[in-house]
Amino acid sequence: MDTARVAGVGLTHFGSHPERTSRDLFAEAGVAALEDAGVDRGDVEGVYYGNFMGELSEHQGHQGPLAAEAIGVDAPATRYESACASSGVALRQAVRDVRNGEADVLVVGGAERMNNLSTAESTEALAIAADDLYEVRAGVTFPGAYAMMATTYFERFGGSREDLAHVAVKNHENALENDHAQFQRAITVEDALESPPVADPLHLYDACPVTDGASAVVLVSGAYADEHDLDAEVAVTGTGQGGDRMALQDREDVATSPAATEAAEEAYADAGVTADDVDVAEVHDCFTIAEVLAVESLGFFETGEGVTAARDGATTADGDLPVNLSGGLKAKGHPVGATGASQVAELAKLLGGDHVNSERVPSARVGVAHNAGGTVASAVVHVLEVVE
């Protein structure tokens, strides 16, 4: 079996681009990734593209061919949709196909356009990641769903709004120098605590923003990288996917995320690493409580003990395990379909020494990306390692 190397990455600025279509955004990210990789367009054998709400925000389905032509690639293209894990799922399939010899060069990425919708419209659009019949029609919004998870977590394991505020503060701090980030400004715990309530106990600063943006990763086989003498020292060495019941009321437990645990265990076994080997992680912090659930699911903290990780400094940039050095969804932004590939792009740069925050983790060799769909009814985990 060959390895899947990251040869190049590309990201747009994450933020508000109401004048740009998702195909336009993806063109920027994809072309940047191809240039970064130094790969000939003619060698690209497929485009694996994540998008979540294009039908609602741009009246556009069938976006695979549009993604390919946006980056000037003449190859089959497929759109993957798994809510907020859309490009994570696309990446997983691309990793498998490169390792199994189905292709030597693939472009993986995603894009989302959201700010052309009103807040009410984007809230309604995001709700299609939940169960329309049994959650949405009963009045559940996405912030409401995560608020229920937070409440349950607090009741079961303790923790406070202040603990969660430290997650937001940390991720804003990490994004300060990241020019792709939607928010490049520091916030305080007080700012977070005093921000307006969204769905108790979650306030505005517990939530990621509504974001337009795109991401792309050029994956190549080890054989191709060697043959073309590419600078591709970071490989995706592990991939895992997990699933759970869609609606919260159908789960055995909403204070843990078994789908993410399942994905992580598979990815670690695939890579031959353990949670202890991980030096840096990008996790799906669509809400602050989601980062807490993620760091527990990934095995970095025992169940019930992740809530104080940011507060204790364990996951800050100078902690034992820096989490979301990119700024995370919270501060970097969350263009839904782009997020999974964006996490991997950030991690590859961090591990490769090309990230503004690389100097904060100079000895990092193993990174983990955790991308979740909905209320973690879907989860994809990837392990990245420096292999050269």
Would you please indicate which residues are annotated as catalytic (active-site) residues? 84, 334
Judged by CB under 8 A, the chain residues 263 through 322 that form the site for a copy of itself are: 263
User: For 5-43, b where at least 16 C-beta lie within 10 A, e where not — what string?
Assistant: bbbbbbbbbbbbbeebbbbbbbbbbbbbbbebbebeeeb
We find the least distance from the C-beta atom of residue 380 to a copy of itself, in angstroms, to be 9
Q: What is the rounded CA–CA span in Å between residue 213 and residue 62?
A: 19
Q: Which of 373, 381, 384, 385 binds a copy of itself (CB under 8 A)?
A: 373
Question: Quick one: CA dihedral 355, 283, 261, 277, positive or negative?
Answer: positive
Residue 319's Cβ-count burial label (10 Å; 0-12, 13-18, 19+) is: middle
Q: Fill in the per-residue mask, 98 to 127: x = in contact with a copy of itself (CB under 8 A), - = not in contact.
A: --x-x------------------------x
Q: For the sheet with 47-50, list strands across it.
A: 47-50, 105-112, 213-221, 4-11, 234-243, 378-386, 366-373, 280-282
Q: Which of 3, 12, 21, 115 binds a copy of itself (CB under 8 A)?
A: 21
- 200 part of the interface to a copy of itself, by CB under 8 A: no
Q: Which of 31, 38, 56, 189 binds a copy of itself (CB under 8 A)?
A: 56
Spatial CB neighbours of 3, under 8 Å, sequence gap ≥ 6: 99, 221, 222, 235, 237, 387
Q: Which is nearer to a copy of itself, 186 or 269 (CB)?
A: 269
Number of residues that bind a copy of itself (CB under 8 A): 54
- 41 part of the interface to a copy of itself, by CB under 8 A: no
Q: What is the rounded CA–CA span in Å between residue 243 and residue 376?
A: 8
- 348 part of the interface to a copy of itself, by CB under 8 A: no
What DSSP element (H or E) covers 372? Answer: strand 366-373
Q: Which is nearer to a copy of itself, 94 or 294 (CB)?
A: 94
Q: Which is nearer to a copy of itself, 125 or 283 (CB)?
A: 125
Tokens for 337?
């379909």
Judged by CB under 8 A, the chain residues 214 through 253 that form the site for a copy of itself are: 241-246, 250
- 131 part of the interface to a copy of itself, by CB under 8 A: yes
Which residues lie near a copy of itself (CB under 8 A)? 21, 46, 52-53, 55-56, 58-62, 64-66, 68-69, 74-83, 89, 93, 96-97, 100, 102, 127-133, 136, 241-246, 250, 259, 262-263, 373-374, 377-378
